[in-house]
C-alpha cells in the first residue's frame, strides 16, 4: 500500500479507489507540538472504534463526514479530502489553552460555547487565528468558514448531549474539515474524534479521562480511554 501521509497519530494510504483512503490509527501519542512522545498499546484500536461510533452517530444526525466504513483493528476507509488548514476548537468549559490565555479558572462553565480557529501549521505551533487572518492566509473562503463554524456548533450539541448520557462531560474538542475530491466543492467533517482530540471528564467526579492524562502525567492513558469506550458503547446500547 502506498503511504500518502504520516502524521503524529495517523497514517493515510492509497486504496484501489482513487477517491477512497485508508486511515490507520497509530498507538503513538504526542503533546506540546511533538515535544513529548510515547506509545500506548491499544490506543489506535480504541480511538478507531470511538471515531467510527461517533462518525456513525453524526452521519445519522445529518452531519456529513469523510467516514465510509470500518476496516479491521486500527483502520477505517474514508473519502479522500483536501484538509482545510484550520483546527476548529469548540469549548463548553474552561480548560487548557483557554485558561492560560484568559486567566479564567479551569472548570468554569462558559455562558455560551466558544468557537476558536487555529492555523494548522506545526512550524508555527498552530497559532490562534481570526477570520481576517484566515482570509489573508487564504485558508478557507468566507462561505466555507461559515459552514465549518455552523457544523462545529451542531456537532457540539450532538456530542454534548450524547456524552452526557454516557456520564461524561464534553469540556472541549478539536475538529478538522476537508474538501471532498474530486471537485472540492463540498466540505465534510474529517480527521478523528477521540480522547486524543476531546477533553472528557467524569460527570460525577470531574476526573480527567482524555489525553490530558498523558499531557499532564495524571495517570494511565489506556485506563481512561477504555473507560470512555465502555461508557460510549453502553450509552449507545441503552
What is the contact surface with ligand TMP in residues (CB under 6 A)? 89, 95-98, 126, 172-174, 197-199
Phi/psi of residue 173, nearest 5 degrees: -165, 165
Please give the Cα distance from 108 to 76 (Å, whole number): 36
Q: How far is the CB of 81 from ligand TMP (least distance, A)?
A: 18
Please give the Cα distance from 25 to 192 (Å, whole number): 9
Which DSSP string corresponds to 90-116?
EEEE--HHHHHHH-PPTTPEEEEEEEE
Please give the Cα distance from 70 to 52 (Å, whole number): 7
Q: How far is the CB of 100 from ligand TMP (least distance, A)?
A: 8
CB 148 within 8 A of CB 84: yes
Query: Residue 8 or 186: which CB sits closer to ligand TMP?
Result: 8
Q: How far is the CB of 104 from ligand TMP (least distance, A)?
A: 12
Q: How far is the CB of 198 from ligand TMP (least distance, A)?
A: 5
Q: Residue 97: how many CB atoms within 10 A of its CB? A: 14
Query: Residue 18 or 125: which CB sits closer to ligand TMP?
Result: 125
Q: How far is the CB of 101 from ligand TMP (least distance, A)?
A: 9
Q: How far is the CB of 77 from ligand TMP (least distance, A)?
A: 22
Please give the Cα distance from 210 to 222 (Å, whole number): 9
Phi/psi of residue 175, nearest 5 degrees: -125, 155
Q: Which of 37, 45, 39, 70 is nearest to 56 (CA)?
A: 70
Query: Residue 97 or 226: which CB sits closer to ligand TMP?
Result: 97
Q: Which residue is nearest to ligand TMP (CB)?
A: 96
Question: CA 89 → CA 16, 95, 114, distances in Å?
Answer: 34, 12, 8
Query: Residue 84 or 198: which CB sits closer to ligand TMP?
Result: 198
Amino acid at each position: 500500500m502506498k503511504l500518502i501521509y504520516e502524521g503524529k497519530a495517523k497514517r493515510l494510504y492509497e486504496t484501489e479507489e482513487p477517491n477512497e483512503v485508508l486511515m490507520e490509527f497509530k498507538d503513538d501519542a504526542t503533546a506540546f507540538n511533538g515535544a513529548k512522545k510515547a506509545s500506548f498499546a491499544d490506543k489506535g484500536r480504541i480511538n478507531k472504534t470511538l471515531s467510527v461510533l461517533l462518525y456513525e452517530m453524526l452521519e445519522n444526525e445529518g452531519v456529513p463526514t469523510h467516514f465510509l466504513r470500518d476496516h479491521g483493528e486500527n483502520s477505517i476507509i474514508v473519502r479522500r479530502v483536501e484538509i482545510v488548514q484550520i483546527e476548529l476548537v469548540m469549548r463548553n468549559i474552561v480548560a487548557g489553552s483557554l485558561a492560560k490565555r484568559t486567566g479564567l479558572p479551569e472548570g468554569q462553565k462558559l455562558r455560551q460555547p466558544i468557537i476558536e480557529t487555529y492555523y494548522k501549521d506545526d512550524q508555527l505551533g498552530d497559532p490562534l487565528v481570526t477570520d481576517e487572518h484566515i482570509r489573508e492566509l487564504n485558508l478557507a473562503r468566507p462561505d466555507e468558514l461559515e459552514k465549518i463554524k455552523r457544523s462545529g456548533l451542531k456537532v457540539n450539541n450532538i456530542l454534548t448531549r450524547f456524552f452526557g448520557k454516557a456520564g461524561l462531560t464534553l469540556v472541549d474538542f478539536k475538529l478538522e474539515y476537508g474538501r471532498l475530491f474530486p471537485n472540492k466543492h463540498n466540505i465534510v467533517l474529517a480527521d478523528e474524534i477521540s480522547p486524543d482530540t476531546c477533553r472528557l471528564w467524569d460527570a460525577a467526579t470531574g476526573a480527567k479521562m482524555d489525553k490530558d492524562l498523558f499531557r499532564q502525567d495524571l495517570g494511565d492513558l489506556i485506563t481512561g480511554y477504555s473507560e470512555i469506550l465502555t461508557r460510549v458503547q453502553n450509552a449507545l446500547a441503552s
